[in-house]
Amino acid sequence: MSLAIVFESFQRDQAAHGLPLLIADRPERPVAWRQGKAVSAAQFMTHVQAVAAQLPPAATAVNLCEDRYAFLVAFCAIALRGQANLLPSSRAPQAVAEVMAAHPGCYAVGELALDNPPPHYRHLPALSVTPETDDGCAWLALPADLVVAIGYTSGSTGVPKGNAKTWASFHASTAGNLRMLHAAVGKGFHVVATVPPQHMYGMEMSVLLPLLDDVSVHAGRPLFPADVAAALAEVPEPRVLVTTPVHLRALIESGVTLPSIAAVVSATAPMPVELAQVAEQRYGAPLLEVFGSTETCVFASRRAADDEPWTLFDGVQLHPQPDGTQVRAPQLDEPMTLADIVTLHDGGRRFRLRGRHADLLEIAGKRASLGDLTRRLLSIPGVKDGVVFQLDSDALGVQRIAALAVAPGMHEQAILDGLRQAVDPVFLPRPLKLVDGLPRNETGKLPRAALLALL
């Protein structure tokens, strides 16, 4: 019996009690836009099943695809084999090696011919356009309890940790995202994302949306402003731009004109109110900031330009704890406690973020938060980028505050003088170091190890 027949039999058996791998009411429904052309659901499923037939037996596989369409194909092919996609916090060789070491027997897949590939690397075949067929789109399904992905945290607060995601949990979290986006832009929209699909935010907004709704996604990951504009021009209206505060600021400062967009979605770092207001005025579209984590997926959203409280998705409950906030959500089998400190409003359906437990400082009987200190640093004229963070304890158990700032033409003392006008002297960062750039990862986050190394 051929492997293809085995797959077909397996999938038909799962259809009755599994969850759809792809939502497609018609074979021609566009799933992605690649090289200026639409890729239909039928073409996509043909690619998925062809790749799945070539994958080796294993429990897990590292998905290193950079092209978003190749990632989509590999993601689904790995899942069809009953395997979990391993999603390192970055595609740096060390990060990939650490994840693979934690999963003996795994392999890696990618669409690029790498000069120094990781062990057991599988180079995907060229995903050329294939003849359309209306077979295989409606009945392909996965077991609800199948672990399809293990996403790793960014390491911004320490060592990256893996978080297993079942196909049922992804269906549940995507339902909340879709309700938010349908209310803002309607149905049948097209996504361009500047974030990598390996990051959980990128997974939710650029992989799961085109799989589980009438949504398509651009195959690229444009970073430079001109590339973002070009990618948006390659997809039809209504367009949704999925990005981060760092990428959005660069886009606005460039002055590049964008095609019309229906909405901007942002995550991975707090969105400054001023930046959100400028973005909405510039692009004539609502800016939707989403709140979540690798552990929980997105569970709330807000209009940052109005500085409004966060609104919880349907079925989500928050319970403040002494050291954070307990989250109950449809996508979670068990409650999850995050380090974020919140205050609840409107009967618990909305909340305001007050900081993170790990960010709270108490020095000489006075309190502050690292997040607020960072915002005050960034508000100083001439400071282009910056971060305030706490160092590891010294021999006496004292944890000093440090800062890195990108401020061309300025001196450290001028920045400290500016901070002194806004914060208590006990919270002035020492040392404060001027740098050419911060070591942000692909989503704009700052891994703690990289900050310490740069300092």
- In tens, the pLDDT along 293-329 reads 999 999 999 999 998 899 999 999 999 988 889 999 9
What pTM, to 2 d.p., does this model score? 0.82
At 269 the pLDDT is: 82
Rounded Cα gap, residues 178 and 174, in angstroms = 6
At 15 the pLDDT is: 46
For residues 446 and 442, the model is more confident at 446
Digit-coded pLDDT (tens) for 384-438: 888 988 887 665 555 688 899 999 989 999 998 888 888 878 788 888 999 999 9
Residue whose entry in the numeric block shows the structure tokens 């293809």: 4
Rounded Cα gap, residues 104 and 10, in angstroms = 26
Average pLDDT over residues 356-378: 72
At 79 the pLDDT is: 97
At 135 the pLDDT is: 53
Grouping H, G, I as helix, E, B as strand and the rest as coil, residue 47 is: helix
Digit-coded pLDDT (tens) for 345-358: 999 999 998 866 55
Residue 413 amino acid letter = Q
Confidence of residue 8 (pLDDT cuts 50, 70, 90): very low
The helix, strand and coil proportions of the chain, stated in percent and rounded to the nearest 5, come to: 30, 25, 40
Digit-coded pLDDT (tens) for 185-194: 999 999 999 9
Rounded Cα gap, residues 332 and 170, in angstroms = 10
5's torsion region: left (phi>0), alpha (psi -120 to 50) or beta?
A: alpha
Task: Compute the mean pLDDT over every residue in the chain, rounded to the nearest whole number.
Answer: 88
Percentage with pLDDT > 90 across the chain: 62
Rounded Cα gap, residues 341 and 417, in angstroms = 30
Digit-coded pLDDT (tens) for 115-138: 889 999 999 988 875 655 555 454
Name the nearest CA neighbour of 164 among 331, 367, 360. Answer: 331
At 280 the pLDDT is: 97
DSSP 55: P
- Residue 282 token pair: 């510039």
Rounded Cα gap, residues 432 and 361, in angstroms = 18
**Sign, Cα dihedral of 56, 62, 64, 69:** positive
DSSP 12: H
Rg of the chain (C-alpha set): 23
- What's the burial of 453, exposed, middle or buried (CB within 10 Å: 0-12/13-18/19+)? exposed
Confidence of residue 369 (pLDDT cuts 50, 70, 90): confident
Rounded Cα gap, residues 69 and 327, in angstroms = 32
DSSP 348: G
At 333 the pLDDT is: 95
Q: Which helix (H) or strand (E) element contains residue 327?
A: strand 324-328
For residues 298 and 12, the model is more confident at 298
> Does residue 229 register a pLDDT over 90?
yes
Name the CA dihedral angle for 187, 192, 196, 199, rounded to a multiple of 10 degrees: -30
Query: In the Cβ-directed half-sphere of 221, how many Cα atoms lie within 13 Å?
Result: 20
At 14 the pLDDT is: 46
DSSP 154: -
At 272 the pLDDT is: 86
Percentage with pLDDT > 70 across the chain: 88
At 6 the pLDDT is: 36
Digit-coded pLDDT (tens) for 38-71: 999 999 999 999 999 999 999 999 999 999 999 9
> Does residue 11 register a pLDDT over 50?
no
> Does residue 13 register a pLDDT over 70?
no
Largest CA distance in the chain: 76
Q: Which domains does the chain have, with CATH numbers?
A: 3-308 (3.40.50.12780), 364-454 (3.30.300.30)
- Residue 287 token pair: 């800016």
At 394 the pLDDT is: 60
- Residue 13 token pair: 């058996």
3-state SS of 254-275 is HCCCCCCCCEEEECCCCCCHHH
What backbone torsions phi and psi does residue 117 show, to the nearest 5 degrees?
A: -70, 155
